[in-house]
Amino acid sequence: MSVVLSRDSQVRVMEDTVTNAEKHLGQFCSMLAAYTRKTAQVRDKADRLVKQLTDFANTEHPEMRATLRSFAEDLAKVQDYRQAEVERLETKVISPLKLYGAHIKQTRAEIKKLKQVQKNEIKQLAKLGKLRQKSPSDRLTISQAETSVQRASADASHTTHQLGEMIEAFQKRKLTDLQKIFSDFVTIEMVLHAKAVEVYSSAFQTLENYDPERDLEDFRAKMHGLYGHRDARPLTETVSSPAVPWSLTGQSAQTALRGERREDEETMEASAEEDLRGRGRALHQ
């Protein structure tokens, strides 16, 4: 009977392991999916800001126009990186967590089978006990009952051993997967922020270099009806960099241009990601 109790204790540990995994991994999946959706929403809001900046720049004087368009381009680049962040979170973080739903369901089914086997063992033991009490002299019936108990115990022992190995493999996979999932999450965030700092530094310098006096001169000239070389210049003469992609109309144009940029950026992003991973390992050592 002590063996039966020991197996019952093992099953409880197995059930607790699966229950905790189901609860917490499910919560991680939901929270990280919400995090990814929020990131996508920030990207969309920033896209609208880029378009608003471009529209406003077209109404301004030459120096402010060039400054705002350059700022809009930098802001648009960050949203390209944020789009890559969203895609990577979905692939490397959310998708692996989703796989645990089916895996946990299968493991629960195996635990249920083991519990049925254990119930049969307990049932056979109880039957044998009753026979020994009611018919202690019926050796044939008792012998048959003992054989049934031995079969049930062997079956329970074999099934418990198999399931124990399965749960141990499940636990090992869970631990290594969580390590990789959260390492990927941190790496994805580091890549985004490293690139964003680089681009925003450029944007900050552009804004710092803006000289409002030149636009004020242009404004004063217009106010007094003086149209000389300081008059508002055509956009193509005042902007040294290419037009910001969000001057195109509609979300589809934004998506198309992001796709064109992606091929060149993927190599750079992979290199940056590997560099950040290397730095992380060096610091850890």
Please report which residue ranges of the chain form alpha helices under DSSP H: 2-57, 62-89, 95-134, 139-208, 212-223, 235-238, 251-284
Q: Residue 50 — pLDDT band, cuts 50, 70, 90?
A: very high
Q: What is the pLDDT of residues 201-256, one digit of tens each?
A: 999 999 999 999 998 988 888 888 755 444 444 444 433 334 334 333 344 445 55
Mean pLDDT over the full length of the chain: 81
Instruction: Identify whether the C-beta of residue 269 lies closer than 8 Å to the C-beta of residue 84.
Output: yes
> Cα separation of 253 and 204, whole Å?
27
Q: Which amino acid is at 121?
A: E
Instruction: Identify whether the C-beta of residue 84 lies closer than 8 Å to the C-beta of residue 265.
Output: yes
pTM value is 0.71
Q: What is the pLDDT of residues 94-108, one digit of tens each?
A: 999 999 988 899 888
Q: What distances in angstroms separate CA 154 from CA 18, 127, 146, 167, 265, one per listed residue?
A: 25, 17, 12, 20, 61
Instruction: Identify whether the C-beta of residue 138 lies closer than 8 Å to the C-beta of residue 131.
Output: yes
Give me the DSSP letters along 76-95: HHHHHHHHHHHHHHIIIIIH
Instruction: Identify whether the C-beta of residue 232 lies closer than 8 Å to the C-beta of residue 215.
Output: no
> Cα separation of 276 and 185, whole Å?
13
> Cα separation of 278 and 118, whole Å?
51
> Cα separation of 116 and 78, whole Å?
57
